[in-house]
Chains A and B, each alone.
Chain A
């Protein structure tokens, strides 16, 4: 039992090491960000399906739920979903291209471009979503 527990702890520690990007190259940063955004989007999808399931209990119940979660923190969570979606989608295209030998030599500048695009669009969405402009 102790051996299994230690092995599980070691496996969790190793999986967490995916996100240790210290001193690593841009490719690892892209990989780690891809994983983080994937986990975030998967969590969002799960919550989204649970929320949608309240529709089955009727329109009033759904509306009551929407009213209950109409909070800034939830809005900010929705904003993060948009940011994660932009990065994950674009990086997915980068991986799809390079996976078949297209522009492998340019994977770093492409990643930099994706990061820059994500930051600019995220900033614009932030200003729009929170009615700053």
Chain B
């Protein structure tokens, strides 16, 4: 059987230095079952070798290929072309929002990593202590031995930051991934994290759009975690009010 072929125009952000970005069209014949990242790689390989983009694992583990596809944050390595366009259609590929653009589709993630580091986000958590949105999830086994740990779900793709509407007007907002990282560790066990969560750019700045949870490819559910963090903050403040430790 002949392979399905679609003609799709990819509008790719081109931006060098401090100059303004522009969308450059690339017309490709693609298999609709291919992924958006495949198309971006083919543009780089056969059309323009100066195109800059990030990628690594190709199976949604590294979080490097997060981009905005038709205005929505997607891991391009797991986003089928057929899910974002049609034969003869267009696909707009842009870098994540709220970050300085280094080149084309590559953003400077330094502010994001610095904030994660400031809240000493762990890469592993004890299996019996990992707070999880789903109480039935195997991710949280209360009976597990305390020396067992698991990798945290967050793959640090920063797509939640890009999807959040708050940094549009408040770049100092900590952002969903950072607040989720605080919630993950717990204020009660880590009181030094309280100042990061309990300030005007912390948990209280969230406007409940829940777009972070929608775009998260790893089921971290930052929206739920921010709301849970608020509970933690209020509980801690009430306890502090009555002088309990």
Residue in chain A with minimal CB distance to B71: A23
CB-defined contacts of A99 to chain B, threshold 8 Å: 208, 227, 230
Quick check: B227 and A27 within 8 Å, CB to CB? no
Interface stretch (choices B50-58, B103-111, B145-153, B209-217):
B209-217
CB-defined contacts of A20 to chain B, threshold 8 Å: 71
* In the complex, A131 has a CB within 8 A of chain B: no
Quick check: A22 and B71 within 8 Å, CB to CB? yes
Task: State the interface size on chain B (CB cutoff 8 A).
Answer: 21
Task: State the interface size on chain A (CB cutoff 8 A).
Answer: 22
Residue among B70, B168, B224 with max Cβ neighbours from chain A (10 Å):
B168
CB-defined contacts of B70 to chain A, threshold 8 Å: 23
With A24-B72, A100-B234 already in contact, the answer to whether A17 and B227 are too (CB < 8 A) is no
Quick check: B169 and A11 within 8 Å, CB to CB? yes
Q: How far is the CA of A11 from the CA of B169 in the complex (A)?
A: 7
Quick check: B231 and A27 within 8 Å, CB to CB? no
Cβ contacts A1-32/B at 8 Å (1 or 0 each): 00000000001001101101011110110110
Quick check: A31 and B169 within 8 Å, CB to CB? no
Quick check: A14 and B228 within 8 Å, CB to CB? no
Quick check: B211 and A25 within 8 Å, CB to CB? yes
* In the complex, A107 has a CB within 8 A of chain B: yes
* In the complex, B49 has a CB within 8 A of chain A: no
Quick check: B230 and A101 within 8 Å, CB to CB? yes
With A24-B211, A107-B210 already in contact, the answer to whether A98 and B227 are too (CB < 8 A) is yes
* In the complex, B223 has a CB within 8 A of chain A: yes
Quick check: A17 and B165 within 8 Å, CB to CB? yes
CB distance from B219 to the nearest CB of A (A): 13
CB distance from B137 to the nearest CB of A (A): 13
Quick check: A104 and B211 within 8 Å, CB to CB? no
Complex partner residue of B228 from A23, A24, A95, A101, CB under 8 angstroms: A101
CB-defined contacts of A18 to chain B, threshold 8 Å: 165, 168-169
Chain B residues with a Cβ under 8 A of chain A? 70-72, 133, 165, 168-169, 207-211, 213-214, 223-224, 227-228, 230-231, 234
17 contacts between A and B (CB under 8 A): A11-B169, A14-B168, A25-B210, A25-B214, A27-B209, A28-B211, A30-B208, A98-B208, A99-B230, A100-B227, A100-B230, A101-B224, A101-B228, A104-B224, A104-B227, A105-B133, A107-B210
Closest 9 CB pairs of A and B: A27-B210, A31-B209, A25-B214, A14-B168, A101-B227, A27-B209, A28-B209, A23-B72, A101-B231
